[in-house]
Amino acid sequence: MNNNVYDVIIVGGGPAGVAAGIYASRKRLSSLLLTKEIGGQSLNSGSIENFIGFEKLSGMEFSEVLQNHLRAQDHITVETGVEVVSVSEEDNCVVVVDGQGKEYRSKYLLLALGSQYKRLETPGEREFEGKGVFYCSICDAPLMKDKDVVVIGGGNSAFEAIIDLLPYAKNIHVFQRSGVLRADAVYQERIAKHENVHIHLNREVKTFEGEAFLSGVTWKDTLTEEEGELPVAGAFVAIGYIPNTSLVSDLVDLTEKNTIKVDRKTFQTSHPRIWAAGDITDELYHQINTAMGDGVNAILNIYDKVKMEDV
């Protein structure tokens, strides 16, 4: 057990957590950042092209950029390879426990645990991730210029992916496993007038195929059992995402999508000692640049709280 009570513990080493960590150090908050790794979910990305200030970075290069900037700070303790397994409150402190049973205490906690895109868990999906199989259409649609693609899913996420792809892709096929599209009518109406969007109901992907990069998918009709192949350069899996909120589901208010409700200006949650930033929140847009901004806003607001206590 560590008796030190930090001003703030930041959990998560993605863009939100790292941005918060850099600001915490510069504000001379006594701060600790705990994370499994530095970089976050876009580590697997082959090419990040919208991180402002860098024309193009691989996921690994992005992680290095974050690590170098964070490690250059002299007023924050960073522990990687740490999985936080519980969060609770005791004696006006937040108590964080890692997988080894080690306890850490702080006045305030900033959660930057991110989220995970739901995978189909279909053969070939992981092999071609970032090499034709994508989950972030805002990020990767521009790679699909004049190419044929398939979007997998029939809800709002899938229709948002179609809209992101329309300025680029030649033909957009949409596979929906069930016979019903769940996307809002307004989305469906917008898409209906585009002749290059081909909706296939009752169709599921069986395998993702290719050599170095994806070259197509095999599919099966869930009603007739008919099978076939579709050559595509890109497959966008858009079946939703899972925010990493299970650790705190009994401490903070969540939305129906299990994201954390935050105040838009301060990024404080419903709990007086807990803030949240990045993809774990109910923010509308989930991107690297927005996650960093969230982290900065959250830590500056925590700094204001700490400063008020010291007066």
Ligand X SMILES: Cc1cc2nc3c(=O)[nH]c(=O)nc-3n(C[C@H](O)[C@H](O)[C@H](O)COP(=O)(O)OP(=O)(O)OC[C@H]3O[C@@H](n4cnc5c(N)ncnc54)[C@H](O)[C@@H]3O)c2cc1C
Question: Do 112 and 10 meet the contact criterion of CB atoms below 8 Å apart?
Answer: yes
Region class of 150: left (phi > 0), else alpha (psi between -120 and 50), else beta = beta
Q: List the beta bridge partners of residue 110.
A: 10, 275
The residue within the footprint of ligand X, chosen from 26, 30, 36, 282 (CB under 6 A), is: 36
- CA dihedral 60→11→253→245, nearest 10 degrees, is 50
- Cα–Cα distance measured from residue 68 to residue 294, given in angstroms and rounded to the nearest whole number: 21
Please identify which residue in 2, 4, 50, 92 interacts with ligand X, judged by CB under 6 A.
50
Q: Which of 5, 26, 30, 44 binds ligand X (CB under 6 A)?
A: 44
Q: Decide whether 82 or 197 has the Cβ nearer to ligand X.
A: 82
Give the nearer residue to ligand X in terms of CB position, either 14 or 216.
14
Query: What's the closest the beta carbon of residue 242 comes to ligand X, in angstroms?
Result: 11
Shortest approach of ligand X to residue 148 CB, angstroms? 21
Instruction: Pick the binder of ligand X from 164, 209, 279, 283 (CB under 6 A).
Output: 279
Decide: is 40 part of the binding site for ligand X (CB under 6 A).
yes
Instruction: Count CB-CB contacts under 10 A for residue 274.
Output: 20
Tell me: does residue 112 bind ligand X (CB under 6 A): yes
* CA atoms of 32 and 302, how far apart (whole Å): 14
- Count the site residues for ligand X by CB under 6 A: 39
42 binds ligand X (CB under 6 A): yes
Beta pairing, strands 234-237 & 31-34: unpaired
Please report whether residue 286 would count as binding ligand X according to CB under 6 A. yes
- Nearest distance from C-beta of residue 278 to ligand X, angstroms: 2
The contacts of residue 225 (CB under 8 Å, 6+ apart) are: none
| The only residue of 8, 10, 17, 217 in contact with ligand X, by rule CB under 6 A | 17
Q: Does 84 bind ligand X (CB under 6 A)?
A: yes
Among 10, 22, 70, 136, which residue interacts with ligand X (rule: CB under 6 A)?
A: 136
| Least distance between ligand X and beta carbon 56 (Å) | 10
Q: Which of 169, 181, 288, 299 binds ligand X (CB under 6 A)?
A: 288
C-alpha distances (whole Å) from 281 to each of 238, 251, 260, 272 are 19, 14, 5, 16
- Binding of ligand X at residue 172 (CB under 6 A)? no
Q: Quote the least distance from Cβ 206 to ligand X, whole Å.
A: 22
Pick 14 or 191: Cβ nearer ligand X: 14
CB of 25 to ligand X, least distance (A): 17
- Residue 12 vs 124, nearer CB to ligand X: 12
| Beta pairing partners, 48 | 57
Query: Of 283, 252, 278, which Cα lies nearest the Cα of 39?
Result: 278
CA distances from 254 to 77, 107, 259, 260 (A): 29, 22, 5, 5
Burial class of residue 38 in the structure, from the number of CB atoms within 10 Å of its CB (0-12 exposed, 13-18 middle, 19+ buried): buried
Residues forming the site for ligand X (CB under 6 A): 11-17, 34-37, 40-42, 44-45, 48, 50, 82-84, 112-115, 117, 130, 135-136, 139, 244, 278-280, 286-289, 291
